[in-house]
A and B are shown apart, each in its own frame.
Chain A
Amino acid sequence: MPSHDPGRPGNRTPPLTDEEAVVARARSGDRVAFAQLMEHYQSACYGLAWRLLGDADRAADATQDAFVHAYGAIARFRGGTFRSWLLRITANASYDLLRHQQRRPTSPLPEPDEGQVELPDADAPNPVAEAARAEMYRQLDLALRQLPEDQRAAVVLCDVYGMDYGEVADATGSALGTVKSRIHRGRVRLRELLADHRELFER
């Protein structure tokens, strides 16, 4: 299992302080500005790809594909949240890879490598709470991997990355009603899988 972003444990990548200006420069063809944006959001994109694909190498491939697509499409970016726009591209790239994989002989998701789980930071202000939080993330990612593929994608896109039903439907190529059903059934299955770890989620 990949390690969490060490710079922001337990958090998502915040927007750049001067993000609008950097995006404007990238839209006008400034490669340095584009690289700055990709470097800033690469952990977010890779995290999404890994949770959709369940494999480190393919997640890196999907993220790389997303950067290429983003480079070709950034001139058409029409405002809004850049992070959401880039995550939608990453979701599409991951789903393209998933469809390509489904057309070929499939291999089961590899077992998570326990040795790669990041240990809690002993110098954190509250190491016990940090350890409990890290364990909660680990159990969540393990449970997500056990969901059926369609339910996992729907729950990850909606509940982990905050996409609405329509965005999930676009990314997965599914009907709106199908997406709702997958999300709700996925949540139920996830709760059942984590029933033995309830204490991790009660604060």
Chain B
Amino acid sequence: MTMQNHDHPPEERLAALAGGDPEATGDRALRSHVEGCDRCHDLLAQHGALRAALAELPDLVPSRPLQLVPPVPARPARSGWLTTLRGIAAPVMALGAGLAIIGAVGLGGMAAGGATGGAAPYSAMEDGNSDRGTTEGASNQPGAYGPGSVTPTAAASQQEARDQSNEPPLGDLTDTSTPLPWLVLVIGGAGLVVIGLVLRFSIQARAG
């Protein structure tokens, strides 16, 4: 180690040798040069000391507390369920309100019909029935057209008068005169509105 060889290898080769790089450690020319060169021997020692120091650099304390475990993944699933309910609540309320309004309008229409022209058809029905009964009674007695009886021609003209005044046929009067379908619509619609409100407030309570 007394001879000085001025044809030195690049320092990168010495750094590789210090790090135990297989290619460098297998380079016999490099190793024999380092053994005979004070400068390269010293550089190799410096690189060895540097690597040893780097290998013992200590761990560092984090600058802030870290979350050690990610949040439980069940939470997004719950929020998805809530989102679905939140989407359902508004249409349910809208549908309920619409049905209730339709039912209320129907009931109002019936009440208005009962107060004004609604009684006429019913009285007309009774008149018609009595006329028909009289007519049938007369028809049971062929040729007996006495006072107060209605002839077939007169009955036909009465039927025409009913048709022209847009009176409903005698058989449909029973269906449209009952308020039950309208009441069902009103009550059902109100019920849907209540269900929608319950859904909405329960979602807010859970989310909050």
A residues within 8 Å of B by Cβ? 2-6, 8-13, 31, 34-35, 38-39, 42-44, 46-47, 50-51, 56-57, 59-60, 63-64, 67-68, 71, 136-137, 140-141, 155, 158-160, 162, 180-181, 183-185, 187-188, 190-191, 194, 198, 200-203
Contact = CB atoms under 8 A, between A and B. Distances in A.
B32 interface: no
A142 B63 CA distance: 18
A180 B57 contact: no
B12 A185 contact: yes
A158 B53 CA distance: 13
B70 A68 contact: yes
A191 B56 CA distance: 16
A162 B56 CA distance: 10
B18 A187 contact: yes
B69 interface: yes
A71 B58 CA distance: 25
Given A47-B58, A60-B64, A35 B69 contact: yes
Interface string B56-67: 111111111011
A68 B68 CA distance: 8
B49 A43 contact: no
Contacts of A50: 60
Contact of B58 (A8, A38, A63, A155): A8
Contacts of B47: 187, 191
Contact of B70 (A11, A59, A71, A180): A71
